[in-house]
Amino acid sequence: MNDEQLRSALQTEYLQIQKTLEDFDGRAITIKAWSVSFSLVAIGGAFASHSAPVLLVSCISAILFWIIEGNWKTFQYAHYARSGEIEEYFRGERQIDFAFQIGTSWSKTHLILKFGHRGTKTLTDKYGVSSKMSKILSRSCKTPWP
């Protein structure tokens, strides 16, 4: 693949990632809407029937929706690494040899976000994540970074 073909392929890949990120936002709003709606109905039902178990169900459902949204956001954030790499390429700060690596990048980044790793050197060495992107990911990780 020559440079012009690579640039075109990376542009296509970048636009696909941006569309995916926007789609994630739309679905996240839907999850929040269902969470609020169900929880309000359950709380209203609990107060109307003076039933503690219904109130407990509404609390548990709110927690479950929160967990679902957290996982959903983790899936979304996993796409930002590849998006950032492509942006760095177009700014001339990074060399990319292959296009259409969304799945590979997502898998690596998702593991980092889900299980966390300490230190940006580890991210760069183990997963080939650029130092700039590893700093961005370190702010999103569940575990604290040194």
Domain ranges (residues) in the chain:
3-140
CA 79 remoteness from chain centre: 6
Find, among 84, 89, 85, 81, the residue nearest to 107 by Cα: 81
Question: What is the predicted pLDDT for the residue at 113?
Answer: 74
pLDDT band at 122 (very low <50, low <70, confident <90, very high): low
The C-alpha R_g of the chain, in whole angstroms, comes to 20
Integer angstrom CA distances of residue 136 from 2, 87, 133, 140:
31, 14, 5, 7
Which stretches within 78-119 are classed as H helix?
80-90, 102-115
Question: What is the predicted pLDDT for the residue at 6?
Answer: 92
Q: Which residues contact 46 (CB under 8 A, 6 or more apart)?
A: 52, 54, 55, 57, 58
37-87 per-position pLDDT tens digit: 888 888 888 888 888 888 888 888 888 888 888 888 888 888 888 899 999
The answer to whether residues 112 and 127 touch, using CB atoms and an 8 Å cutoff, is yes
Q: Which residues contact 27 (CB under 8 A, 6 or more apart)?
A: 72
17-39 per-position pLDDT tens digit: 999 999 988 888 888 888 888 88
Name the packing angle between helices 120-127 and 131-140 (round to 10°). 120
pLDDT band at 142 (very low <50, low <70, confident <90, very high): very low
The rounded mean pLDDT for the chain is 79
* Burial degree of 23 (CB within 10 A; 0-12, 13-18, 19+): exposed
Question: What is the predicted pLDDT for the residue at 138?
Answer: 57
Question: What is the predicted pLDDT for the residue at 111?
Answer: 78
Percent of the chain predicted with pLDDT > 70: 79
